[in-house]
Structure 1
Amino acid sequence: MRYSKDHGQQTRRRIVENASYGLRENGADGLSVVDLMKLVDLTHGSFYAYFKSRDALVVEALALAMDRTVVHWLDLTEGLPAEKGFDAVVESYLSPRHRNNAARGCALPALAADIGRSGPEARRTFAGRLEKMIDVIARLIPRRSSTDARQAAAGAIATMVGSIVLARAAGDRQLSDALLKAGRQALRNQTASASAEASAVDQI
């Protein structure tokens, strides 16, 4: 059978795409090369025609997943005032839909712990994409210095990720929903307090 010139690239993209779903659902340590290739109906032996190692695939799949979260946040907030954009991200992230769909959700709650035990390339990729995510949220926190906005953004992401991790781990749906609600409320309180402080400064 003859293949088009870009068949190899298409197959490689398909492997990365499906690996990004599988890794988010099962964790970076939860899938072997055999499992990853089964996701795209390919044999274990063909894996090394596309990737030099399993770790190389994990890095690419991680980057793809995190990039898509950034794009999703940018789409959610397009045209919205900063504070409403922040609320839109929080509501989407700390929602039952996101909790219930790990495979297509944010990579942070699914993979952060595994990446912390991975090699330096995976950690560098993770850190670089995380910086971009912090940048997006920081732009949604008005009337703060760049340093303060980034610190608040990092805290907001940590709160969102922790809330989702706990909500997914909770065996009881009522408790899980309560954890999501608590996370949303904590972030609302944080932004309300920051807005009040900024208003007080403006009036001095």
Structure 2
Amino acid sequence: MRYVKGHGLQTRGRIVEEASCVLRQAGVDGVSVADLMKLVGLTHGGFYSHFESREALVIEAFASAMDRTMVQWRSHTKGMPADEQFDAFIEAYLRSGHRDDRAHGCVLPALGTDIARSSRKARGVFARKLDEMIGVIAGLLPGKSQKQARQIATGALATLMGSIALARAVGDNKLSDEILGAGRQALSGQSARRKPLTASGVRRPNKNCKETNDHD
């Protein structure tokens, strides 16, 4: 049987897309190559004409999922006023719909712990993509220095990932919603301008301004 030009790439793309969903839903060890190939209508033997190993597919699948996630983040905040983008991103990430759609949600809470137990190569690819994700979030923080923006973005991403992972784990809708709400509260106001910290961790008063007893 003859195939049109590009058929192999289309098939590979289908396998990667299906794998990215299944892996987020079932985990790295939750699906076999045979089961995955059945989902895309191919035989087990056909797998190795597209990928040299199962690990190669896993790496490509989670990298693809991370790329898609970043596209979604950019799309969601596109056209918004710059000072509203970070808070809108937080609200979108920590919504119940994201918590409930594991297969199509952010790959970090779904596969982060699995990747930590994977090969050095897998962790290396993950780290590069994670760095890109931090950069996307840092870009939602206008008025911050690059160092400040990356620091806030890194902390925010860790909070977001942990909040979704815990919210999914508890299996209690009331507690799960409470976790999401706590995550939103923890990150609220992070995009606002703040007084710099001194070495002792006390906020330095702004020049020409009276010091107030704010507890932000």
1:34-45 equivalence runs, <5 A = 34-45=34-45
How far residue 134 of structure 1 moved from its aligned partner, in angstroms, is 0.5
Detail structure 1 runs of 4+ shifted over 4 Å in the superposition: none
Match of 1:111 in 2: 111
Work out whether 1:18 is the aligned partner of 2:18.
yes
SS at match of 2:86: helix
* TM-align CA RMSD: 1.6
The TM-score with structure 2 as length reference comes to 0.88
Cα distance in 2 for partners of 1:109, 1:27 equals: 11
1:1-204 equivalence runs, <5 A = 1-191=1-191, 194-197=192-195, 201=206
Cα distance in 1 for partners of 2:144, 2:162 equals: 24
How far residue 203 of structure 1 moved from its aligned partner, in angstroms, is 5.5
Q: Considering fraction of residues, name the structure with more helix.
A: 1
How far residue 98 of structure 1 moved from its aligned partner, in angstroms, is 0.3
Relative to 1, partners in 2 of residues 1:74 and 1:202: Cα closer, same or farther, differing over 3 Å? farther
Cα distance in 2 for partners of 1:87, 1:37 equals: 40
Relative to 1, partners in 2 of residues 1:63 and 1:75: Cα closer, same or farther, differing over 3 Å? same
Structure 2 residues not aligned, in runs of 5+: 197-204, 210-216
Asked whether the equivalents of residues 82 and 139 of structure 1 are also in contact (C-alpha less than 8 Å), the reply is no
The TM-score with structure 1 as length reference comes to 0.92
Relative to 1, partners in 2 of residues 1:2 and 1:167: Cα closer, same or farther, differing over 3 Å? same
Letter in 2 for 1:18: E
Structure 1 residues not aligned, in runs of 5+: none
Letter in 2 for 1:144: K
Larger radius of gyration between Structure 1 and Structure 2: 2
Sequence identity (%):
57
